Structure 1
Amino acid sequence: MEDQNSSEQPDYLKPKKNRTPVFIVITFLLLAAIVFFYYQNQQLEEERAQQQQEISNTYLKLDSVSNELEIRIQTIKELGGNIDTLEALKTQLEADKKQLLVDAQYQRGQITKLNNRVDGYKELLLLKDEEIEQLKVLNEQLSEENTTLKVEKNQLNQTVQQLEQNKQELASKVAVASRLEIEDMRINAINDNGKERDGGEYRNRHIEQLKIQFTVVENEIAPIEGKELLLRVIAPDGNVLFDVTRGSGSFTFENREMFYTAKQEILYDRNSQLVTFLYNKGSEYAVGQHKVEVYTDDYLMGKGSFMVK
C-alpha cells in the first residue's frame, strides 16, 4: 500500500509536456488561412472590378450604337424610307441597356453576346448608310423630276391662262363684232296736215310728229333674235324727252340708270333692216339742237341730231 501511494505523485510534481510545436503549427495554419482568404478576396475584387469595367464598356458601346441608330432612323425617315425594322431594333437595344444595369445575372451571361450584337449593329449601320445614300440619290432624282414637273405645270398654267385670256379677248371681240349698228339716220318733221319735211332744221309749227328712220346694218356674226331698240331724244338742256304715257321708261347703261323716250321691238335676222320711230311730243320743242340716240342690249347703236328754230 505504501509503494502504491508513493508511486502516485501530485500533478504539480509531475514533469510538464512541451506544447510549443503544436502552437507553431496552429499559428502557421491561421496565417496560411488569412493569406489564402486575403488573396482570394483580392482576386474576387479584381474580377468584380474587371466585370464592372466590361459592363461599363459594353453599356457605352450599346449607347453609342443607339445614338447612331437614332440618327439613321431620322435620316431615313426624312428621305421617305422604311424605319419599322430600325425602330424595333432600337427598342430591343434600349431594353438590353436597361437590363444590363439592373440585372447582375443577366450581366454575367450577356456581356459576350451583347458585344457580338454590337458588332452586328455596326454592320447594320453600314448597310443603312448605303441605303441612305441610295435614298439621297433617289430623292435628288425625284426633286429634279418635281422641279421639272413644276416648271412644266407653271408653263401649262401660263398656257391655260393665255388661252383663257385669248378666249376672253376673242369673246369680247366677238361680242363687240356682233353688236348691231345703224346708219343713214333721217329725222323728219310731220305737221298736223301730214306734210313731211326733211333737212334737219324745223320750226315748232312744223313738228306735230317726229319721224326718225334708220337702217340696222347687216351683221353675219350677230345672233338671230328679237331686239329691243331704245330711242332717246335729248333736249338742248340735256334732259331726255320723257313721258310714261307715250311709252317712255328707263334702262341701265354702264352701271347707271338712264331714261329713254320710246322703244320698239324688232326681229333681227342678220340682214339690213329699215326701222321707223314716230314720236308725238304733244307740246312744243325747246329751241336749239336736239340729239337722238339709239341703244340696244346696253350699248349705243348710233346717233343723230336735228335743230328746232
Structure 2
Amino acid sequence: MSNVQLRQYYQKIQNYETALVAKDKELAELREQNQRLAEERDQLSSLSDSLSSETQNLSSTVSEVKENNQRLTQAAAVLKAENIGVRAYNQREKQESRNAFRASRIDKLSIDFSLGENEIAAAGNRMIYMRLVEPAGTVVKGAEGGNFEAEGQNLSFTNRKSVVYANTRTPVTIAFERPDDYKFKVGSHKVELYADGKLIGFKVFDIAK
C-alpha cells in the first residue's frame, strides 16, 4: 500500500472517529433534552394535579357559599309580627282594662299586630295562623280552628286570617270569640303567630280571676 493510500485510509478513520464523537455528543444532548422534558412533564403533571385539587376546593367553597346565601335569604324572607297587642272585650263589646283581664268578664280577644316591611319576602296572599295557648299548654280551638304544618310539626290553631302582603308594613287583627261552653283559665297565656310554616311572633299576657 502506497503512502498516499495510507494517508487516505487514516483520514477516513479520523473522519469516522470525528463523526462518532459528534454522534455521541448529539446523543448526549438528546438524552439531556429527554431528561428535561421528562422533568417538565412531571412538573406539569404535578401542577395539573394541584390545579385540579384547587378547582375542586373552589367548587366546594362556591357551593357552600351558595348554600349559605340561600339559607340567609330564606331566613331574611321570613315575615315578622311586630307590636303584638291583645285586647279583651266583654259581652257588650266593651273593652276591658289592658292591665287587668278578668276570666269571668272576657267574651272576645282581639290580637293586633303588624307584618313588618320586608323587601326580600315574596308579595301576595299569606295565611296567618294564631294559636291561643292556655297556662297548662293546651291550645284553645275556636270555631275556625283546625290544624296546620309549621316548624316540622302538625299544630293546632285557634283562628286564622288571609292577608294580602305587599312587602310593606301591614296591620292585621285576628279575633277569638269565646264559645258558650268555654271559660278562660286564670294565669299566663300566650299568643303565637305563624306564617309560611314559621313562627313569626308571640305575646304573653295574664288573665286574672
Match for residue 119 of structure 1?
none
Q: Deviations over 1:6-36 (max 9, x none)?
A: xxxxxxxxxxxxxxxxxxxxxxxxxxxxxxx
TM-score normalised by the chain length of structure 1: 0.53
Match for residue 273 of structure 1?
170
| Matched position secondary structure for 1:176 | helix
Q: Which runs of 4+ in 1 moved over 4 A?
A: 130-140
1:232–1:294 CA contact under 8 A, matched in 2: yes
Distance 1:285 1:187, change over 3 A: same
Task: Please state which structure has a larger fraction of its residues in strand.
Answer: 2
Match for residue 205 of structure 2?
306
Cα distance, 1:178 vs. partner? 1.7
1:250 corresponds, among 119, 144, 147, to: 147
1:248–1:262 CA contact under 8 A, matched in 2: yes
After superposition, where does 1:292-303 map in structure 2 within 5 Å? 292-303=191-202
Higher relative contact order (CA 8 A, sep 6+): 2
Task: Work out the CA distance in 2 between the residues paired with 1:294 and 1:198.
Answer: 23
Match for residue 79 of structure 2?
180
Cα distance, 1:257 vs. partner? 2.3
After superposition, where does 1:1-309 map in structure 2 within 5 Å? 138-243=37-142, 246-282=143-179, 283-308=182-207, 309=209
Cα distance, 1:225 vs. partner? 2.1
Task: Work out the CA distance in 1 between the residues paired with 2:56 and 2:130.
Answer: 46
| Matched position secondary structure for 2:139 | coil
Task: Work out the CA distance in 1 between the residues paired with 2:32 and 2:173.
Answer: 87
Cα distance, 1:272 vs. partner? 0.4
Cα distance, 1:295 vs. partner? 0.9
Q: Which amino acid aligns with 2:156?
A: F
| Matched position secondary structure for 1:145 | helix
1:188–1:200 CA contact under 8 A, matched in 2: no
TM-score normalised by the chain length of structure 2: 0.76
1:235–1:289 CA contact under 8 A, matched in 2: yes
Distance 1:211 1:239, change over 3 A: same
2:151–2:199 CA contact under 8 A, matched in 1: no
Cα distance, 1:198 vs. partner? 4.2
Distance 1:153 1:211, change over 3 A: same
Task: Work out the CA distance in 1 between the residues paired with 2:75 and 2:65.
Answer: 15
Number of equivalent positions: 180
Cα distance, 1:229 vs. partner? 0.8
Task: Work out the CA distance in 2 between the residues paired with 1:198 and 1:220.
Answer: 37
| Matched position secondary structure for 2:140 | coil
Task: Work out the CA distance in 1 between the residues paired with 2:35 and 2:177.
Answer: 89
* RMSD, aligned CA: 2.4
- Structure 1 gap segments, 5+ residues each: 1-129
Distance 1:218 1:287, change over 3 A: same
Distance 1:248 1:155, change over 3 A: same
Q: Deviations over 1:73-113 (max 9, x none)?
A: xxxxxxxxxxxxxxxxxxxxxxxxxxxxxxxxxxxxxxxxx
Q: Which amino acid aligns with 1:170?
A: N
Q: Which amino acid aligns with 2:170?
A: Q
| Matched position secondary structure for 1:195 | coil
- Structure 2 gap segments, 5+ residues each: 1-28
Structure number with bigger Rg: 1
1:182–1:214 CA contact under 8 A, matched in 2: yes
Cα distance, 1:298 vs. partner? 1.9
Distance 1:212 1:134, change over 3 A: same
